[in-house]
Amino acid sequence: MKKLKNGDYKDLLEPMELELNNVARWLQHTGKRMVVIFEGRDTAGKGGVINTIAERLNPRQVRIVALPRPSERESTQWYFQRYVAHLPSAGELVMFDRSWYNRAGVEKVMGFCTDAQYELFLKQAPVFEKMLVDDGILLFKYWLSVDQQYQEERFAERAEDPLKRWKLSPIDLKSREAYDDYGRARDAMFEATHTKHAPWHVVNFDDQKRGRLNLIRHLLDNVPDCHLPAEPFELPPLPHEPKKEKFKGPVKPIPEKY
């Protein structure tokens, strides 16, 4: 696949960023709530597309949820309980960088849950999501697809780049040996949880820039008509000349080195 050039990518992304702002303004105006779930193999590009969506939006309105492994206390709770606490309030958009579907993916493949817990999850997840949708939450579920060739290239890049090495974990390294197992777990998850009220959408992320554009375009096309005319805003002139910062007392700006 021929990768999209950076300049072309930015040109295509810019109008979508304006549309995402329209969505955010519509959510705030109507009090609607939106949840977007991002799942996929390690290195697929979940963090990149989430950050792209959130970058130009109000961080007080848009939240990214990337939960760590459950605590000892959380592991004794109803499985969905700790996710419920992060669901949106009126006017909010919440994006899950991995979600309750951890149980159907990494927990299943790596043996972090029992067969009984896994089977119960597959039964409860569609019911749980039906409750969310019935309550008015707009729910979108995306699976980011990546061939192992590109996954390996990204693993190698992370291993070589000290600024990306934090992205590698022992679980990531084990996942390299379980590519087929993850594929089978994904297919079983789709079979059980791809429903009319909460369908899955698969996006090709072999080229991450193209993947981001395709995912964002799909999301925008499937949100209800949310165009609201921007309210005119005129910045009044200052009644005086612009002032400079002045500091009195013991606290001063640090020395400038650049």
pLDDT band of residue 95 (cuts 50, 70, 90) is very high
Of the two residues 226 and 197, the one the predictor is more confident about is 197
Contact call for residues 206 and 150 (beta carbons, < 8 A) = yes
Band (pLDDT 50/70/90 cuts) for residue 174 is confident
Q: Is 80 exceeded by the pLDDT of residue 1? A: no
pLDDT for residue 177: 87
pLDDT for 39: 98
CA distance 132 to 123: 15
72-76, 95-99, 160-164, 169-173: lowest mean pLDDT where?
Answer: 169-173
β-sheet with 33-40: strand ranges across? 62-65, 93-97, 33-40, 137-145, 200-204
Q: Which of 91-95, 181-185, 252-256 has the lowest average pLDDT?
A: 252-256
Residue 245: per-residue pLDDT? 93
Query: 226 pLDDT exceeds 80?
Result: no
CA distance 36 to 200: 11
HEC states along the chain?
CCCCCHHHHHHHHHHHHHHHHHHHHHHHHHCCEEEEEEEECCCCCHHHHHHHHHCCCCCCCEEEECCCCCCCCHHHCCCCHHHHCCCCCCCCEEEEECCHHHCCCHHHHHCCCCHHHHHHHHHHHHHHHHHHHHCCEEEEEEEEECCHHHHHHHHHHHHHCCCCHHHCCHHHHHHHHHHHHHHHHHHHHHHHHCCCCCCEEEEECCCHHHHHHHHHHHHHHHCCCCCCCCCCCCCCCCCCCCCCCCCCCCCCCCCCCC
Query: Which pLDDT does position 172 carry in this prediction?
Result: 77
Predicted local confidence at residue 2, as pLDDT: 79
Mean pLDDT of the chain: 94
Task: List domains and CATH numbers for the chain.
Answer: 6-222 (3.40.50.300)
Q: What is the reported pLDDT for 153? A: 93
